[in-house]
Amino acid sequence: MAQNSSNEPNSGPEHLSRPLGIASSAASANGTAHANSAAGQALNDRFPQPPTQAPPAREAVEAVGQDAVLQWAFVNYGEQVGTKYVYEQTLDSHAPISPEYLAVVREVYAEPRSDDRPERSPFAEALGALRASGSVLVINRPPNSSRTFTAYALLAHLLDDEVISEVRPLPFGGSKHFPTKRLPRDEQCGFLLELPPDEDDFAVDESFGGTLNKLLVRLQQRDCRLIVLTRPEQWRRISHGAPEGVAPELGAVHPFDIAERWLRGQEPGFPVNLWLEHKDIKPLLIGQPPTDVLNLVRLMLQQHRASQPAGKDGAAADRALGYKQEEPARLTFDKQVANVVAAQSHWEDALYAWHEPKRRSRTSFERNFLLTAAVLRGAPVGHVYAKAAELTEQLGDTEVEIDGQREPGVIAMTRAIEARREEDGTLTFTRPNWDDAVIEYFWNDRPLARTTFLQWLARAPVGDSSTSKEALEVISKEGRLALAKRVGQFALRWAVRHRRQTPLQEVVEEWYQPGAAKELWPLAIELLDSAAAHAASAPYVHSMLLTWSKRNPPHLQRAVVEVCTRTFGRRHTAKALRRLRNVAAQGDPEVLDALRDAVRVLWEDTTVRQMLFGYVIDWCKSETLSQTVGHRTFTALALNSPPEAAGLPPLLQALAENSPEEEDTFRPTLQGLVTGWRSLLRQAAGPTGERDLDKAVFTWLDAALVQQTLKPVVFDTLRQAVNVPGPAGPPLREALRTSAQWWVQGQDRPYTAEKAELKVELSALLDQDLTTRRSQPPALQEASNLLGELPAVVESGAP
């Protein structure tokens, strides 16, 4: 989009059928470099007429807009197809970013301005620099400053101009370094790398700036480009040695420009200037971050569409997005503006007038009915009525008898809260954001009732009350899941906004209960994981997960571990490791299986294997954790998942790999393997079925039989694991010999001569080790034992 030479916003119409006018900006800028001018002219030459390719559909633009603002990412309970598609697209740390998503970004992106040189287009200059093969650009901005969207916009232009063939996010990995190996071998790609923020004992290494020079060479060899996202304080620390000019100043994105681009993209006929130049709207834009601007855009669009005649395309789009507009009421423009301004202030004046009418006082049942209707949006009115009575009693106001006719009924209560009863039995508020404002008002007005309200809120989706059942309006399973998503989203929004863990803690604790866990627990994990990956909420949620990992309640620990197996663990592996370490220190038996799954997931990232292996072996060495956390997590790496899966288990696969030229190749140390195997050999037989020990012995001896290169390390590991002096040695050797014999011939394991020969060879070596140990002087035996117990974490090099 071409920018005016002043700071005043553009007033002319904009044709969204062509990409942002980089060429126009570059051609009109007196000081623009020749290469950028040429690039701009090339764009003009390519588009002498509007291109035949249609611009992104309005629904797609709206979906991206909702994704960009966390609290609206689950509009209509997350069932809007476009929203789900785009939201999940941006969370996958491995999949390419879809061209459809990037096309929307290109349409709606507002270029930053440079106030000191208004004739310059810093975006166009950055784009011109990125056209060179192997180029790297560092966007050095704080979160919520359009840094990710700016990166996508730059890459979208490169993709549209066929400079690159696809766009991929790059996970940083678990190491404090970023080795060149982490660059995929794809050619003609645009990569986006977000540096993890510094935390506790983890920080990106100060040599990162110098590493960019190595990355430049690898990128140029493959005709790729790289954009790095960092923060100002972090870049100051790690920028030493970086290529000159790699982090240019991109200017500031003006809120007016953001609103204009999004409004035109979502509603081509929208009267942009009439709205944005209005005296009451202008102040709402000044100094606002992008997410707040998009909230305002959503409100303006909603009110504008509410004023359109029934049957307009906008009404259909609103219905698709879950908005219910009053028909045939027509709002005047002044009324539309007034509603937007009131919604931005959370309708506080209107809600005060409702709560404190001049002629009488509202009853607690009326107040709670309004609050319940706002929370349980989309639930049958009978269910709302019953839950309002339940909330009234839990807040200690009074006992509400709603079985007979003593209390006001549904019709009276519906009119009292100024709602409308729909044909499907649900309640609708016609004022934008009224339901969210009701909750906000209660939260601010009744601080001493917050804890009780949160407990009631977390239980609301768990099951139907008997009163609701008597009303013959039992909420369906689908309705409860939809309600749970809304409750979870409210809890998340409040936790992030107010920096309070209680709302999410209540949800996690209640949804962990046996009756709710089957249906609601996965929703809780999905909510936390998506929030941990979304820029608007990630900083607080990461800190909250760290706190939870150090606390005792099993529901909090289980939540942390399961989130570490999802997108959060794949994208922020170093952070996930530290949280798992804290959880493991608690040793709670309820989280062991989840902890084992997390170890398997994180092992897939080669950069964290050394640190992860060190943690696992430390747990195996611990007297308190060896037979719980240590045993389970080492088994996760020593066995396939599932056990009958083909191929080598993770540890043997790492031993079989032979890539000395790769920078972050990790081979488990022999002493670490010995420590882990001793935790397995000490395992007591379970009540039924095979022990993990038997499965591990079978798997490792199979590998030694099939792959001769693995035979020495398998034999050495098993021999040293049982080569222990004193009374501890015989039980270990006996456990290994028994499992080995079952491997030769046991249930579902037919006898072969090859297996028998391998077992005889192993037994002979065990006997030889035993004879050698018994012939040693006592002092030498003790020294050998101490050597065998050295911490494997030191040998592996893990911190």
- pLDDT at residue 406, as a whole number: 73
- pLDDT at residue 626, as a whole number: 87
Coil, strand or helix: which one is 140?
Answer: strand
Pairwise CA distance, residues 451 & 410, whole Å: 27
589-612 pLDDT per residue, tens: 889 888 988 999 889 888 788 888
pLDDT at 440 over 60: yes
The 3-state secondary structure of 200-269, one letter per residue: CCECCCCCHHHHHHHHHHHHHHCCCEEEEEECHHHHHHHCCCCCCCCCCCCCECCHHHHHHHHHHHHCCC
Pairwise CA distance, residues 492 & 385, whole Å: 25
Per-residue confidence at 140, pLDDT binned at 50, 70, 90?
Answer: very high
Q: Which amino acid is at 531?
A: A
Average pLDDT of the residues in 189-218: 89
Residue in the structure block whose two tokens are 């006018």? 21
Dihedral angle sign, alpha carbons of residues 676, 679, 685, 686: negative
Q: Which amino acid is at 290?
A: P
Contact 739, 720 (CB under 8 A): no
- pLDDT at residue 781, as a whole number: 56
User: Is 124 or 174 the better-scoring residue by pLDDT?
Assistant: 124
pLDDT at 792 over 60: no
Among 36, 18, 19, which residue's Cα sits nearest to residue 27?
Answer: 36
Q: 10 Å Cβ neighbour count for 578?
A: 21
Min mean pLDDT across 48-52, 325-329, 617-621, 770-774 is at 48-52
Average pLDDT of the residues in 514-535: 85
5-35 pLDDT per residue, tens: 333 323 222 222 222 222 222 223 333 333 3
pLDDT at 65 over 90: no
pLDDT at 324 over 60: no
User: Is 776 or 685 the better-scoring residue by pLDDT?
Assistant: 776
Please state, rounded to an integer, the average pLDDT across all residues of the chain.
Answer: 79
Contact 676, 617 (CB under 8 A): yes
- pLDDT at residue 215, as a whole number: 93
Who contacts 741 (Cβ-Cβ below 8 Å, separation ≥6)?
759
- pLDDT at residue 335, as a whole number: 92
pLDDT at 723 over 70: yes
Min mean pLDDT across 369-378, 474-483, 788-797 is at 788-797
Contact 385, 465 (CB under 8 A): no
381-410 pLDDT per residue, tens: 888 888 888 898 888 766 776 665 777 788
654-673 pLDDT per residue, tens: 998 765 445 557 899 999 99
Pairwise CA distance, residues 479 & 549, whole Å: 32
pLDDT at 308 over 90: no
How many H-runs (helices) and E-runs (strands) does the chain carry?
40, 6
Pairwise CA distance, residues 658 & 709, whole Å: 11
Contact 377, 397 (CB under 8 A): no
Coil, strand or helix: which one is 525?
Answer: helix
Contact 194, 168 (CB under 8 A): no
Min mean pLDDT across 73-87, 197-211, 769-783 is at 73-87
Average pLDDT of the residues in 415-429: 87
Q: DSSP assignment, residue 138?
A: E
Pairwise CA distance, residues 157 & 160, whole Å: 5
Among 656, 563, 629, 549, which residue's Cα sits nearest to residue 602?
Answer: 563
Angle at 30 between CA 160 and CA 155, to 5 degrees: 20
Pairwise CA distance, residues 468 & 540, whole Å: 37
- For residue 208, the Cα-to-chain-centroid distance in whole angstroms is 25
Among 164, 114, 150, which residue's Cα sits nearest to residue 229?
Answer: 150
Beta bridge partners of 427: 421
669-718 pLDDT per residue, tens: 999 999 999 999 987 544 434 578 888 999 999 999 999 999 999 999 99
Residue in the structure block whose two tokens are 């190996």? 181
pLDDT over 70 for what percent of the chain? 77
Pairwise CA distance, residues 462 & 574, whole Å: 35
Pairwise CA distance, residues 500 & 199, whole Å: 20
Pairwise CA distance, residues 325 & 329, whole Å: 9
pLDDT at 191 over 80: yes
Contact 3, 12 (CB under 8 A): no
- pLDDT at residue 177, as a whole number: 86
Q: Which two tokens mark 391? A: 């909330």
Per-residue confidence at 436, pLDDT binned at 50, 70, 90?
Answer: confident
- pLDDT at residue 64, as a whole number: 62
Min mean pLDDT across 41-55, 494-508, 715-729 is at 41-55
Q: 10 Å Cβ neighbour count for 606?
A: 21
Average pLDDT of the residues in 50-76: 51
Beta bridge partners of 420: 428
Pairwise CA distance, residues 585 & 618, whole Å: 10
Q: Which two tokens mark 542? A: 């990461």
Q: What is the DSSP string of 474-511?
A: PPPHHHHHHHHHHHHHHHHHHHHHHT-SHHHHHHHHHH
Query: How many alpha carbons fall within 13 Å on the CB side of residue 502?
Result: 10
Among 61, 43, 60, 41, which residue's Cα sits nearest to residue 51?
Answer: 43
Who contacts 684 (Cβ-Cβ below 8 Å, separation ≥6)?
none
Pairwise CA distance, residues 316 & 327, whole Å: 13
pLDDT over 90 for what percent of the chain? 34
Contact 395, 452 (CB under 8 A): yes
- pLDDT at residue 198, as a whole number: 82
pLDDT at 2 over 70: no
